[in-house]
Amino acid sequence: MGNSELSYVAEPDPVPERAEAIDGLIGEALRRGRGARSNRTGRFETQSAEAFDDGWDLPADASPTRTTVRDEIAKSIISRNDSPDLSFEQSINPYRGCEHGCIYCYARPTHAYLGHSAGIDFESIIYAKTNAAALLRKELSRPGYVPKTIALGAVTDPYQPVERGLRISRSILDVLEEASHPVGIVTKSAGILRDLDVLARLAQHRLVKVAISVTTLDRGLSRSMEPRAATPEKRLDTIRQLTQAGIPVTVMVAPIVPALNDSEIEKILEVAADAGATEAGYVLLRLPLELKDLFREWLQTDHPDRAKRVISLLRSMHGGRDYVATFGHRQRGSGPFAEQIAARFRLALRRLSLNQRTLRLRTDLFRPPGGRGSQLQLL
């Protein structure tokens, strides 16, 4: 891959051997620095494997699970949606899988489409769309393309650790700047500050806004829930540096986990506003497909004293179920506890003067990269 700076292992062909599991959970050494506590076979696989104790007391490999990065030659790069829950219709995801390892990540089940587990595989087998910038240039140059804000990182974080060496997100921003195309970025990484130069230039023309996710201010809880993401202090400093550079920032209190971080809502909004954030939003914990089991495993190992309470409150917001995927419900829930969270959030917004104005990015400055009708377009 030509990225000798990285401490990752490039394995383009064979699937790495899955971390061994006993009683469904993998050992502490193998999951060191990871969010998931297991690596169960993906739901589309016809066979599954499970390790067991055969009585031979032989030493096992206790090395932590390493991250592998694979090139993915994508066929298209702009994804489109018509979801009423989302504030954007177009998005780009430079990577599949995410090394941040957030245990609550609703994207985990998507790794099953690649033949992997939503557990450790999701955070240790990363696919990098190395041709993203070239594809984007081609798609923006098509006759009839209508510019609408592109969300960068709508599924997995565009500034996860591997971006430091591959710079795919940066190459995408370069194309968007050339085309004067609006972009919204969602991240929890201080790595976005590496692109402060291009972001500041886009901001001068009202072509960018950034959403920084702050899940908790508790370093211990953050370390447990989001093992390879930036610390809470780093995220607040990122908000501060972005706003000082003239880049508008939204703070996302996401996800809100009942009985775990919901008590921090007001404080997170307060310190984010002090750092310069002008808008704010929240999303309740979502547990689709395999995620419901992965999250329970994490609760039982890291927060056994709160596990029953967390799940009970969560189910109360989904009509007695772990998760309801209906539009309008999946991100906010329903019932008394969900209504209480919504009311608290509204009161805090009013007190802190957040969301007084919603920044709308410009689309009228768009120009196709290279110029529509150029010789390249005729070939």
Domains of the chain, residue spans: 21-44+64-354
Q: Encode burial over 228-252: b for 16+ CB neighbours within 10 A, e otherwise.
A: bbbebeebbebbbbbbeeebbbbbb
Rounded alpha-carbon distances, angstroms, from residue 118 to 36, 65, 359 = 9, 15, 35
Mean of pLDDT values over 352-363: 93
Under the banding of pLDDT at 50, 70 and 90, the label for residue 265 is very high
pLDDT at 42: 67
pLDDT at 64: 77
Highest mean pLDDT: which range of 43-52, 121-130, 319-328: 121-130
pLDDT at 246: 97
User: What confidence tens digit (pLDDT) does each residue in 105-124 have?
Assistant: 999 999 998 999 999 999 99
Mean of pLDDT values over 18-32: 58
On the 0-12 / 13-18 / 19+ scale of CB atoms within 10 A, 220 is: exposed
Residue 212's closest CA among 245, 183, 185, 244? 185
pLDDT at 83: 74
- The answer, yes or no, to whether residue 76 has pLDDT greater than 80, is yes
Please, which contacts does 49-53 make with residues 24 or more away whose CB atoms are closer than 8 Å?
49/18, 50/21, 50/24, 51/20, 51/21, 51/22, 52/22, 53/22
Of 64-73, 159-168, 246-255, least confident by mean pLDDT is 64-73
Whole-number average pLDDT of the chain:
86
pLDDT at 304: 94
User: What confidence tens digit (pLDDT) does each residue in 279-331 have?
Assistant: 999 999 999 989 999 999 999 999 999 999 999 999 999 888 888 777 767 77
pLDDT at 38: 80
The fold of 21-44+64-354 is pyruvate-formate lyase- activating enzyme (3.80.30)
pLDDT at 263: 96
pLDDT at 51: 53
pLDDT at 85: 67
- The answer, yes or no, to whether residue 27 has pLDDT greater than 80, is no
Detail the DSSP E strand segments found in 135-248: 150-152, 183-187, 208-213
**In the chain, % of residues over pLDDT 70:** 83
- The answer, yes or no, to whether residue 164 has pLDDT greater than 60, is yes
Q: Is 172 helix (H, G, I), strand (E, B) or coil?
A: helix
How far apart (Å, rounded) are the C-alpha atoms in residues 217 and 9?
A: 33
- The answer, yes or no, to whether residue 37 has pLDDT greater than 80, is yes
- The answer, yes or no, to whether residue 4 has pLDDT greater than 60, is no
pLDDT at 3: 39
